[in-house]
């Protein structure tokens, strides 16, 4: 029969030492081998002796005064950590805000198109896409949302009816101020 | 540090309890909602074992206290991700071991010389010479442990001094129970070799 494996030696050692938490269990057949194999027994004795040595080596305890000092250090280190995102920058706020901003952009983009004569419409779109917009993707996006107004978006199920109003109603003063700033920036950018 | 402020976890069910009387799970819930007082209690309750894990890793007080502090800062930042799948202590050990493994891999451990170690045992009970020899042996063992390969060291520390199960250690180290037992076996064998070469 083969000698005990490293796993089995650990199980046997912990069973012998009365390891309190989840000791390994050695199969009866392997226990029989262990009881009749001097090599395995010698290895087990050596392992147990080293483990005992290890258990007897306590940690050098710091001064009792250290612990309060340690707690204060942890507290100071947490204070020094950079703060996370502002509480109002949550996705629950940002998603409706983004939807509102997109709708405003869509409305603003669609208004001049209706006022222009049909012949100039295409030219205006091409001109806007080529000279003012930063990328081709933005031009495609502008074309896609060009005819989309709030009612159409609601009817298409893109947004739930009243979702934008509801989102705005739930904003705090700080959030409303930020929304105003975003919208004004967007209007200025589109008009320029 | 005083923790007299009281927090009601579920005011309609439980009476208001001082933070220090809450169990770990309740403290985590309160701390995860941003209560620094609750986290202070967690630190107070677990700082010693977390420090000891770190000390066993690096075998010197300065690094151990830095590592333990780092572990608690990370725990504070990650508190919302702790869902109670394991005991809080096991989760903190996991963080401490990871902090140690990261730090140790970029910095060789500086071990305190045997002569500088202090002992607080009552030397009146045994002869001073015997106590000194015992402390020297203990210091040699600590130095030998700090010289073990990282995973063997982590396994030996968590199993021998903190009595974590093989499965818990496997979860912490991201390995299997078989690998944990093999690491433990090799750790003891290496310890034997290192100590065997000491006078």
pLDDT tens digits for A15-49?
A: 887 755 666 677 788 888 988 999 999 999 999 99
CB proximity under 8 Å: B 137-166 to A: 137-139, 141-142, 145, 156, 160-161, 163-166
* Chain B residues in contact with A40 (beta carbon < 8 A): none
pTM > 0.80: yes or no: no
Percent of chain A with pLDDT over 70: 60
Residue B17 and residue B179: Cα distance in Å, rounded? Answer: 44
Residue A83 near chain B (CB below 8 Å): no
Q: For testing the chain B interface, which of A6, A20, A43, A57 should be mutated: the one with the most B CBs within 10 Å?
A: A57
The CA distance from B14 to the nearest CA of chain A, in Å, is: 29
pLDDT tens digits for B56-107?
A: 999 999 999 999 999 999 999 999 888 888 899 999 999 999 999 988 555 5
Residue B15 and residue A108: Cα distance in Å, rounded? Answer: 57
Residue A50: which of B70, B182, B192 has the nearest Cβ? B192
Residue B165 and residue B154: Cα distance in Å, rounded? Answer: 13
Q: Which two tokens stand for residue B69?
A: 């502090």
Residue B40 near chain A (CB below 8 Å): yes
Query: What per-residue confidence (pLDDT) applies to B87?
Result: 92
pLDDT tens digits for A58-108?
A: 888 899 999 999 999 999 999 888 765 555 556 666 777 888 888 888 888
3-class DSSP state for residue B18?
Answer: strand
How many CB contacts within 8 angstroms connect chain A with chain B? 114
pLDDT tens digits for B120-145?
A: 455 555 678 888 888 888 899 999 99
pLDDT surpassing 90 at residue A110: no
Residue A47 near chain B (CB below 8 Å): yes
Count how many Cα atoms sit within 13 Å of the Cα of residue B26 in the half-sphere of its side chain: 14
ipTM, two decimals: 0.77
3-class DSSP state for residue B23?
Answer: coil
> SS3 breakdown of chain A: % helix, strand, coil, rounded to 5?
70, 0, 30
Q: Which two tokens stand for residue A79?
A: 């204070």
* Chain B residues in contact with A10 (beta carbon < 8 A): 181, 184-185
């Amino acid at each position: 029969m083969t000698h005990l494996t490293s796993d089995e030696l650990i199980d046997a050692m912990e069973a012998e030492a009365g390891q309190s938490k989840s000791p390994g269990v050695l199969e009866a057949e392997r226990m029989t081998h262990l009881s009749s194999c001097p090599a395995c027994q010698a290895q087990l004795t050596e392992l147990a002796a080293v483990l005992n040595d290890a258990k007897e080596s306590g940690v050098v305890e710091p001064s009792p005064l250290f612990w309060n000092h340690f707690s204060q250090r942890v507290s100071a280190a947490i204070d020094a950590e950079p703060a996370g995102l502002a509480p109002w920058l949550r996705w629950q706020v940002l998603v409706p805000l983004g939807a509102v901003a997109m709708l405003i952009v869509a409305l603003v983009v669609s208004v001049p198109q209706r006022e222009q004569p049909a012949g100039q419409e295409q030219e205006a779109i091409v001109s806007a896409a080529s000279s003012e917009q930063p990328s081709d993707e933005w031009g495609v996006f502008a074309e896609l949302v060009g005819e989309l107004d709030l009612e159409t978006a609601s009817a298409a199920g893109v947004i739930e009816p009243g979702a934008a109003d509801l989102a705005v109603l739930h904003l705090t003063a700080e959030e409303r101020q930020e929304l105003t700033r975003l919208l004004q920036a967007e209007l200025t950018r589109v008009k320029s | 540090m005083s923790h007299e402020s009281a927090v009601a976890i579920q005011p309609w069910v439980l009476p208001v309890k001082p933070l220090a009387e809450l169990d770990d799970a309740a403290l985590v819930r309160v701390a995860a909602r941003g209560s620094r007082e609750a986290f202070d209690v967690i630190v107070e309750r677990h700082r010693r074992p977390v420090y000891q894990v770190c000390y066993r890793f690096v075998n010197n007080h300065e690094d151990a206290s830095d590592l333990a502090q780092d572990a608690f800062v990370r725990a504070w930042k990650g508190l919302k991700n702790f869902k109670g799948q394991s005991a809080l202590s096991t989760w903190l050990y996991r963080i401490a071991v990871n902090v140690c493994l990261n730090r140790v891999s970029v910095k060789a451990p500086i071990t305190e010389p045997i002569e500088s170690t202090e002992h607080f045992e009552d030397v009146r009970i045994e002869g001073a010479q015997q106590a000194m020899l015992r402390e020297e042996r203990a210091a040699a063992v600590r130095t030998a442990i700090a010289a073990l390969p990282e995973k063997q060291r982590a396994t030996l520390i968590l199993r021998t001094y903190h009595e974590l199960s093989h499965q818990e250690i496997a979860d912490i180290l991201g390995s299997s129970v078989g690998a944990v037992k093999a690491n433990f076996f090799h750790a003891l064998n290496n310890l034997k070799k290192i100590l065997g070469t000491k006078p």
